[in-house]
Amino acid sequence: MIGILFKEGKELVPDNELMEMQTEVLFKTDSLGRITEINEPSNLPAPLFFLGRTKQGNRIHFNTYFPESYKNKIIEVINQDQTTINLAKLIGILNKVKTISNLWVGPAYVFPENFMMTSNAVKITNENKELLEIGFPNLLEQFKWRQPFFAIIKDGRAVSVCCSARKSTKAAEASVETMEAYQGQGYGTETVIAWANQVRKEGLLALYSTAWDNFSSQAIAKKLNLYSYGIDLHIS
């Protein structure tokens, strides 16, 4: 599938615009398009560099403190090959700016317009959020800004949860987690379906991204037949 057969309202959304929407979900930017902070209330600094690669081109964003003298070198490496990313060369250049401590790379997906799956996952609200206390106490602290929440309930507690990792005015990205003892039973998939249906009801695009080495997360994307619009890479 090339291009995009995807609707946001009445307009077709190309892959490269979907990638830009994901950038807006993940990071805060300044007036020059430079990434400044992670798009969370914690105000953590943004990565040194972000690359979103699609069939229709690249979306490149540098941190505000990234030196101008190195930007063209990074862009040159990226443009040398549109099919692979030369991580060794990129990291070699970036290490001259700042010692690299973290790298994320993986596929980015979006729920298609004709997505019709349903789920029995339970919506978690203020009235029943105590169900998160045993398995996901950290999410209680983030409950307000990571809406909507859906969970599979077993043994009187939430054992698998999907909520919003981050959101913008146009899209939200999924975050799914399942307790180890309950993994491999399809619970994560059920929560993601319910989350995506609710996000789309709210008029937002439902995005889903994962790392290449997270095979269980990629399996969910495959089960749901999500549309892969590109690959994103961020390095800190």
Bridge partners, 163 (sequence order): 175
Query: Do 66 and 155 have their domain in common?
Result: no
* pLDDT for 10: 37
* pLDDT for 83: 84
At residue 48, what are phi and psi to the nearest 5 degrees? -65, -35
Low-confidence ranges of the chain (pLDDT < 70): 1-12
Q: Is 118 helix (H, G, I), strand (E, B) or coil?
A: coil
* pLDDT for 81: 86
* pLDDT for 12: 67
* pLDDT for 206: 98
Residue 72: give the domain boundaries: 10-109
* pLDDT for 98: 92
Can you give the pTM of this predicted structure? 0.91
Query: Do 153 and 102 have their domain in common?
Result: no
Query: Do 18 and 82 have their domain in common?
Result: yes
In a domain, 43, yes or no: yes
Q: What is the pLDDT of residues 104-130, one digit of tens each?
A: 999 999 999 899 999 999 999 999 999
Non-local CB neighbours of 162 within 8 Å, separated by 6+ positions: 121, 149, 150, 151, 174, 175, 176, 177, 188, 191, 192, 194, 195
Q: What is the CATH number of the domain that holds 221?
A: 3.40.630.30
Query: Do 105 and 43 have their domain in common?
Result: yes
